[in-house]
Amino acid sequence: MRSTPRTRRAAVLAASGIAVTALIAGCGSSGGGGTGAPSTASSPSAPAGATLQTATDPKLGTIVTDSAGFTLYRFDQDDSNPPESYCNGSCAVIWPPEHVNGDVSVKGVDSKLVGSVTRSDGTKQVTINGWPVYRYSPDTKPGDTKGQGVGGTWFAVTPSGGKAGTGTSTPSPATPTPMPSAPGY
């Protein structure tokens, strides 16, 4: 029996959904936040510079976005003092780091709070008040905030490096050591 284009398309979509589900499930249970081998998807060639800007979300208040208006997030399992990213490997596929290989331009963010950290794969990642910042892959259009509160450890980042939508915009203290398993990514 020959398959129709519609049947083939449905099979491809189903397989894609299963692959994404497996990837997400694997991140939540494997402790993929460690310094495992970097994924090609998590190590794109870094832009010469990056732009951070602020936006106002009706539920979260003032948050930081990238130059295209995509929400940036911070991960409670990371460290801010000194800055260190623990979202590597499969985690960084779902939560791509905001890479930079030069200056960071800011609009509405204090430039004194903006820096970078060298990741385990050697790339540079933007930090705000020491907190490494990321995008969330399921955010498909500017202004999406689907990553807010994921796993109780991912939050849209405020211009001061704090967690948006938590009733305070002050940065929380850094986690002294990485957790053995980092659920939620």
3-41 residue pLDDT tens: 555 544 444 444 444 443 333 333 433 333 333 333 333
Provide the domain limits for residue 17.
1-30
Q: What is the mean pLDDT of residues 48-53?
A: 85
* Residue 77 included in any domain: yes
The answer to whether residue 35 is domain-embedded is no
Same domain, 131 and 75: yes
Global pTM reads: 0.69
d(C-alpha 141, C-alpha 132), whole Å: 22
The domain tally of the chain equals 2
Whether 76 and 137 share a structural domain: yes
| CA dihedral sign of residues 113, 170, 100, 30 | positive
pLDDT reported for residue 5: 52
Q: Are 83 and 125 within one domain? A: yes
Angle at 117 between CA 164 and CA 173, to 5 degrees: 45
Q: Is 61 helix (H, G, I), strand (E, B) or coil?
A: strand
> Phi/psi at 72 (nearest 5 deg)?
-105, 145
Measured CA to CA, the distance from residue 38 to residue 43 in angstroms comes to 7
* Residue 37 DSSP label: P
Distance of alpha carbon 70 from alpha carbon 140, whole angstroms:
8
pLDDT score of 108 more than 60: yes
In the predicted model, is pLDDT for residue 84 greater than 60?
yes
Q: Which two tokens stand for residue 172?
A: 């929380």
In degrees and rounded to multiples of 5, residue 9 shows phi and psi of -60, -45
Q: What is the pLDDT of residues 62-80, one digit of tens each?
A: 999 999 999 999 999 999 9
Q: Which range, of 21-35, 50-64, 150-164, averages the lowest pLDDT? A: 21-35
Question: Does residue 135 share a domain with residue 51?
Answer: yes
